[in-house]
């Protein structure tokens, strides 16, 4: 069994536990048999899930300490009141200017993957938004705003703000517009040497939460 990376506590009080999650550890148990974060944390305290990060994603991860707080935060996430900001390093330099939107609905594909609910060849960039030029297939709405922070040698660092919270949303959106995240072998091209990396280059940089006194949790790009 692989030793589990250790999270760092950013904030803890009677209502919340906020962590800096390392990359390479699953939130919940998976088929690898490696130690999961949930088992580590709940061995010491009672916690309730509020949101999730993928195994390869690092950064701000929040847990509630009571069902009442969990309900309040779940409502905030459902109402899209929680603002989430991620940093991603991608292959290529995204077109369309320094800030663009991605408005591409998603649906579940094969083998637990997700995909855009439309044909790849109908994805267009127009008036600052990536969208489908034809009617979408059955799926759920997914909206992301991205801003170019820097680029060099054919790679770019992006700030991504998902307005919706769909599974793998950022990974699918960036891959399907042609700029996959480095180290993402699920949605990128694993045979492309530019995709090779020691981790998934996706990091939850900042979480802005209303209610419960309101707070902002921030972790710089590692």
User: 200: number of CA atoms within 13 Å, CB side?
Assistant: 25
Phi, psi of 96 (to 5 degrees): 105, 0
Closest listed residue to residue 61, CA positions, set 184, 210, 217 = 217
List, by residue number, the catalytic residues.
54
Asked if 170 and 181 count as a contact pair (C-beta separation under 8 A), the reply is: yes
Asked if 20 and 58 count as a contact pair (C-beta separation under 8 A), the reply is: yes
DSSP label at 75?
A: H
């Amino acid at each position: 069994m692989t030793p589990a990376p250790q999270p760092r506590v950013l904030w803890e009080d009677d209502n919340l536990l906020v962590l800096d999650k390392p990359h390479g550890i699953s939130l919940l148990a998976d088929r690898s048999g490696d130690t999961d974060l949930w088992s580590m944390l709940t061995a010491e305290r009672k916690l309730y899930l509020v949101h999730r990060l993928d195994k390869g994603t690092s950064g701000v991860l929040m847990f509630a300490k009571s069902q009442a707080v969990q309900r309040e935060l779940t409502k905030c996430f459902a109402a899209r009141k929680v603002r989430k900001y991620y940093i991603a390093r991608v292959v290529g330099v995204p077109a369309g200017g320094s800030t663009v939107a991605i408005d591409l609905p998603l649906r579940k594909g094969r083998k637990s993957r997700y995909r855009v609910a439309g044909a790849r060849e109908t994805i267009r960039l127009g008036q600052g938004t990536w969208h489908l030029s034809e009617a979408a297939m059955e799926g759920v709405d997914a909206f992301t705003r991205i801003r170019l922070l820097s680029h060099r040698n054919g790679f770019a660092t992006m700030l991504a703000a998902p307005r919706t919270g769909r599974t793998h949303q950022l990974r699918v959106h960036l891959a399907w517009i042609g700029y996959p995240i480095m180290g993402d072998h699920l949605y990128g091209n694993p045979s492309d040497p530019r995709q090779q990396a020691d981790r998934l280059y996706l990091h939850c940089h900042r979480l802005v939460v209303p209610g419960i006194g309101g707070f902002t949790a921030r972790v710089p790009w590692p």
